[in-house]
Structure 1
Amino acid sequence: MQVTTFLESFVFLPLGGFLLLTSLLGVRFLNSVTSRICRQTISIGYVNLRLVSLILLINACFFAREQVVLTRIYASPSFAQYCGTSGPGSPFPGDAAKDPVAAAASAAAAQAAAAALAGGEAGLQCMAYKLRHERNWWLSLLSLSVWLLLWRVTAMVANYDTRLKVLEEEKARELAALENARCELKNEETIVGRAAAVKKVA
């Protein structure tokens, strides 16, 4: 198993999906924990990066690499020789009799399979190489999307928490001011009552 496939399938995607789910549940404790994890700073030489930014950058590099490799595969003569001349089609053809796009995709897949079988072991290796990099391309795209969403959601949650703390502090100050005003009013009423009692006695 390639390093890219292992990292995308068993590290980045599960971790990103779990953190994204916990940040979207609306539980304040989970939001704060997720935000704290994603904002952990990692030092690489003189550069300080947050964890979410670092993984997002790694995912972008993986995706760019797979895009370059697939572009070379589709442009190579050996791909046209062993894997057919058509571009990649839909992986879910469905009912080919009703959908012309699905019919074209099925025809392209059949042509590619026939060319691969006709090419023998080299054709099958070419087809497997292409399919492996297409799979890695989709994994990289999905992981990149998840971490990009997580990057934005954690920033929004952190901003929301900051505003909520400010509002709670303002509310506490207003309640304290109201309590002080109530105590002062009560003291004034007590003083006025005592003064009235003294006047009555006099």
Structure 2
Amino acid sequence: MLGMFFVPVFLFGLSLAIDSTAGERERRSLEVLMAQPMPARDLVLGKWLAVSLLAALGLVVELVVAHGMLSTLSLEEIGMSWHLGLPMLAAVVLTALPLCLLVGAVQVAMAMNSKTFKEAQATASVVTLLPIVPLIAVPMLGLGTQPWMYAVPVLSNQVMLQSLASNQAPGLLPFLLTCVPPLLAACGAAAFAMRRMRSEQYVMGI
């Protein structure tokens, strides 16, 4: 159940990612932006960070609301626990920032690679299914918490939250593994989006 808390990361910035890429190209407003005296890198960087910021805000709002509700419930009666305080919640958000950057970069890159607004909706929306996969696969395979899970984006954040909610200290290495792979993947997706933005075929919608 706790793994569902990361779903807003994939939802809050999705509309902005689509509208600021495929939507602008379909409305022909992208050509006006490209005519401004700024490199394509700065345009992609602005879109990427805006989408990532919305994803992070969605996560913060949901965690704060969930903390306020779960702290008042007797979860032990149903075999659950919630021992997170505000410092630990801040740690969860901090380790999830690379995931927000990754999701923002992937959604922008996928939307930019689409020819129409509707096609961008179909392709970029696929990313929203990623947080559901570990929630289904891990119980079906009967997997417990293992060190390699912290190196898998999305799954690592879910495992980290579950460990902290159970009052367990994962250690420094899991925190690093949770942060570094998403950052590297985000840089790769952003680099792809920047290359697409510099393409005349993309700007002209060919």
Q: TM-score range by the shorter chain?
A: under 0.3
> Rg larger in 1 or in 2?
1
Higher relative contact order (CA 8 A, sep 6+): 2
Structure number with the higher helix fraction is: 1
TM-score, L = length of structure 1:
0.24
TM-score, L = length of structure 2:
0.24
